[in-house]
Structure 1
């Protein structure tokens, strides 16, 4: 884990799993969404702060690689690190881990849009400045 990575501890509950007790593949996206949400909240941009600016973030692109399964009651860590920060979008490198094992890895690109629509808009300067501190582009 680098200084540029945010992490969120999670636990696997019964609703996250299939009949065999293994995490259903789409739930990893939910774990990653939670990590991105808490990352933004830590920077001072919780849902209220975002919605009050008449903007929202939408997923534009996802690429995931499934390495190992998570199981019922596992303790996991969902991570997020900014790889690329643009004026109206960012690409994050994300993982879901169990201890030292990476279970899922991938990238997620999110775009800033006008709330209630799909028209792109630039991120507010204070938001972009806060995100830049966590960007690998900042090195």
Structure 2
């Protein structure tokens, strides 16, 4: 299942050349991940408050292919690559009119607020298998 999340490029997202500043792609894919988790019916605030569990970015491998520009309409696609006991690996791609501008493989882990890894929530594992 591929989750799609729309992104509009605003002036504040760009550098002096009018292209999206590289760090903003990480913000775009973060927003898309949050929207994806929400679409699964998972309330991350409740998960943190009631279970003391949060998702933590463990690793990201990014590939910048082409620049996005001011006023572009983009789409972020998020797809599950693998699910383990503690770890979740996602593929995220930023596209403009079907052209891949940026891609990343993102590894997330579930962690207790005390910093210890923990199993991914059962609700998440059920919904992504």
Q: Same fold (TM over 0.5)?
A: yes
Matched, 1:23 2:28: no
Query: 1:65–1:105: 8 Å Cα contact kept in structure 2?
Result: yes
Runs of 5+ unmatched residues, structure 2: none
How far residue 130 of structure 1 moved from its aligned partner, in angstroms, is 1.3
Deviations, residues 64-108 of structure 1 (Å, cap 9, x unaligned): 111110000100001110101011111001100001100001200
Matched, 1:131 2:89: no
Name the structure 2 match of 1:99: 97
Cα RMSD over matched residues? 1.1
Query: 1:37–1:46: 8 Å Cα contact kept in structure 2?
Result: no
| Equivalent position SS for 2:77 | strand
Q: Distance in 1 between matches of 2:19 and 2:83?
A: 34
TM-score after normalising by structure 1: 0.87
State the aligned residue count: 128
Name the structure 2 match of 1:113: 111
Q: Distance in 1 between matches of 2:73 and 2:38?
A: 22
Name the structure 1 match of 2:85: 87
Q: Distance in 2 between matches of 1:97 and 1:79?
A: 8
Q: Distance in 1 between matches of 2:94 and 2:115?
A: 29
Moved more, 49-58 or 64-73: 49-58
Name the structure 1 match of 2:29: 32
Moved more, 49-58 or 86-95: 49-58
Matched, 1:64 2:59: no
Runs of 5+ unmatched residues, structure 1: 133-139
TM-score after normalising by structure 2: 0.94
| Equivalent position SS for 2:19 | coil
Q: Distance in 2 between matches of 1:100 and 1:20?
A: 23
Could you list the runs of 4 or more consecutive aligned residues of structure 1 that deviate by over 4 angstroms after TM superposition? none
